[in-house]
Each structure stands twice: as C-alpha cells, then as structure tokens.
C-alpha cells in the first residue's frame, strides 16, 4: 500500500462496527454523520472538521448513488460517483472511516454502528434528525453544527452552470 493511500478507511458495515466497538471499549468517543457529499467543498470540510473535534473517531455514512437519486437532489445528481466521493472523504485527515449506505435514511447504519455522538448540519433541527431517539436511548448525544453561509453544493452547481458556455 502506498504511503498515502487512504482507501483503507472505506469500510463495510461489519468492519466499521467491529472497529468502532473496539474503539469504544478503549474509551474512545465515536462521532457519526452522514450525507451525499457531492462536489466536496470548504463548507463540507469545515463541517467534518467540527464533527471530528467532538470525539476521537469520525465515521461518515455516505449515500450511494441510487440513494442520492431517490433523495431527488436534482437532475443528474450525484455528479460524482459513490466510489469517488468515498475516496475523497477517506483522504481527509479528519475522517476516520467511510461507510456507504443504500437506504433512504441512515437509521439501519446508525443502529449497526451505535455511535456515541450523532452530528448533523444546521439545516436540520433535533426533531428532524433520523436516529436521534435511538442514539439517545443508548446514552449517546445528538449535536447540530452550524452551516457555513454561502457554501452549498446546490449553489456551486448553479454557479458552474451560469459560467459554462453552451
């Protein structure tokens, strides 16, 4: 494996469950978040860094291409394949693991991984966060991280479309 190959961070549900369970047994705090992360931008990076700062390990649940399409994120989405999105996320120093999920919500993955902390962006309120009751039921916490104004994939796509010649 080359020195900087970070693809080992892309895990199956079972390998992630085992790694997180071991980390928790050693007193480490596991943070979980999820999303599409299509066209990774500075807002995503700052969000992930803030999430990681809340614990010892950050695991990102990543929507598969088919689940992104079902979420109706927009025509032609995702722009970047799930394999590329996973590899880009895994390359970030603040991300300790990436796990793909094909379901419409990350609930089954959250129940499998049992994180200590569930984190979502400021475009959610506590009542909207999938997995909140479950995480709180095993003593975990849920946090909302404010979004960085003016940083969104939708805005980025719109700007690209405005500047791309026909």
- pLDDT at residue number 21: 97
- pLDDT at residue number 123: 82
Mean pLDDT across 108-129: 94
Nearest to 135 by CA among 126, 124, 123: 126
**Mean pLDDT score of the chain, rounded to an integer?**
90
- pLDDT at residue number 5: 85
Mean pLDDT across 85-110: 97
Q: Encode 98-109: b = buried (16+ Cβ within 10 Å), e = exposed.
A: bbbbeeeebeeb
pLDDT tops 90 at residue 32? yes
CATH architecture group of domain 7-163: 3-Layer(aba) Sandwich (3.40)
| C-beta pairs of 152-155 under 8 Å, 24+ apart in sequence | 152/41, 152/43, 153/36, 153/38, 153/39, 153/41, 154/74
pLDDT tops 90 at residue 110? yes
- pLDDT at residue number 111: 98
Structure confidence at residue 140 as a pLDDT band (50, 70, 90): very high
Mean pLDDT across 11-38: 97
| Whole-prediction pTM | 0.89
Domain spans of the chain? 7-163
């Amino acid at each position: 494996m080359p020195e900087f190959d970070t693809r080992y961070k892309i895990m199956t549900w079972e390998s992630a469950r085992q790694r997180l369970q071991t980390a928790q047994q050693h007193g480490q705090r596991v943070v979980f978040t999820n999303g599409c992360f299509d066209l990774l931008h500075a807002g995503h990076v700052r969000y992930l860094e803030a999430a990681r700062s809340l614990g010892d390990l950050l695991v990102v649940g990543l929507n598969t291409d088919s689940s992104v399409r079902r979420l109706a994120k927009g025509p032609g989405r995702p722009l970047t394949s799930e394999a590329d999105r996973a590899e880009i996320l895994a390359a970030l120093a603040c991300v300790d693991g990436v796990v793909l999920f094909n379901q419409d919500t990350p609930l089954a993955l959250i129940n499998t991984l049992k994180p200590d902390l569930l984190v979502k962006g400021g475009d959610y309120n506590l009542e909207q966060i999938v997995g909140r009751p479950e995480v709180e039921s095993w003593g975990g916490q849920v946090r909302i991280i404010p979004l960085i104004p003016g940083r969104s994939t939708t805005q980025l796509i719109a700007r690209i479309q405005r500047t791309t010649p026909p």
